[in-house]
Amino acid sequence: MGAWNKRDDMLIHTAEPFNAEPPPAALAGHPITPTDTFYSRNHGNIPRIDPASWRLSVDGLVERPLELSLADLQSRFEHHTVVATLACAGNRRGELMAVRDIPGQTPWRSAAISTARWTGVRLRDVLAAAGPSGEAHHIAFTGADRATGIDPAQPFGGSIPADKATSGDVLLAWRMNDEPLPVAHGAPVRVIVPGYVGARSVKWVERITAQRHPSSSYFQALDYRVLPAETDPGTAPAGSGLSLSVAALNSAILTPSEGSHVLVGPNLVTGYATAGEHRAVARVDVSADGGKNWRVADMEHPPGPWAWVLWRATVNLPPGRVEITARAWDTSAATQPEHPEPLWNPLGYLNTSWSNVHLIAAL
């Protein structure tokens, strides 16, 4: 067992803050990711919070501000379970960094994405108890951790539109995969915002604020934004570029592993695909000749409406060096762009280009 109860073969990008992703092959074959394999993304220390003294305040534009203990949360509201995929908006950033460097950002490969069963209470029910005003267009979350390397120092935070917050899909969760939520994943309680970039699923949540405008947290106002390619993120004013909210259409190959030696002839290729909110993965295509010819993959039934689709296809490989490519389509008939180059952006978010692995096939 490695750091923070993760498997030994995690790729640890940084030990502090702890940023780690599993080998892609470890995600394959598990519609629900085992907790020891689930990626971990942190901007600061991982706080250890005593569940008995933890309190959640619900404040801002509400009629009745609340201060809830864990026991209050668990006894006053109905429990609910959602299977949801979390994906970091920086997933697959490494391929963007190969186009042009992105200093100071984590070079995620394709496994900063995982799926779990989350149990808690609906944010909608907690908000209803506080009575938000009609002016509360955004619901902001504040965590208990201190992000490192940003000025001024501040906790991690972010917000979602009130419509999403009251949709019934968003959870305040204390269980993950039918066990207590691990410290590294936000214990005692984290937010789960299915269908949104992982950054909005705030861990160690301590405060929920109903407000007129999106969160002024660094992580909402300056980070997690797609800036125009020529913008300098160091001097861009708050609110520059496009704020990330809903997750993107994306896919990646999980097996065979990059660089592996395989046998000539039929080979099984597996991977995942995700679609944005209000859309579903409609089809995944796999090519063994750089996209000239495609084969339609078989898709597994996802473990829930907010979960990824795992897929598989058998391709026939000639001898020599081969490149396997995958691309997904969604129910609006949109598909992924071919190359990362035109997607390059200064903070390196949302690389949704075709996924490739390179193999050597021999008899």
Sites of contact with ligand MTE (CB under 6 A)? 38-43, 86, 88, 143, 145, 156, 185, 198-199, 201-204
**Which of ligand MTE, Mo ion, none does residue 43 bind to, with CB < 5 to 8 Å depending on kind?**
ligand MTE
CB nearer Mo ion, residue 41 or residue 312: 41
| Residue 131 backbone class (left: φ over 0; alpha: ψ -120 to 50; beta: rest) | left
- How many C-beta neighbours within 10 Å does residue 247 have? 27
**Which of Mo ion, ligand MTE, none does residue 202 bind to, with CB < 5 to 8 Å depending on kind?**
ligand MTE
Nearest CA among 212, 217, 86 for reference residue 142:
217
* Region binding Mo ion by CB under 5 A among candidate stretches 35-43, 71-79, 278-286, 310-318: 35-43
CB nearer ligand MTE, residue 215 or residue 325: 215
Least separation, in Å, of the C-beta of 362 and ligand MTE?
38
Kindly tell me which residue out of 41, 43, 185, 312 binds Mo ion, with binding defined by CB under 5 A. 41
Least separation, in Å, of the C-beta of 88 and Mo ion?
3
- Contact status: 185 vs Mo ion (CB under 5 A): no
Least separation, in Å, of the C-beta of 202 and ligand MTE?
4
In which residue are the tokens 């950054």 written?
199
CB nearer ligand MTE, residue 37 or residue 287: 37
**Which of Mo ion, ligand MTE, none does residue 251 bind to, with CB < 5 to 8 Å depending on kind?**
none
3-class secondary structure for 18-78? Answer: CEEECCHHHHCCCCCCCCCCCCECCCECCCCCCCCCCEEEEEECECCCEEEEHHHHHHHCC
Sheet holding 250-255, edge to edge: 250-255, 265-274, 309-317, 298-299
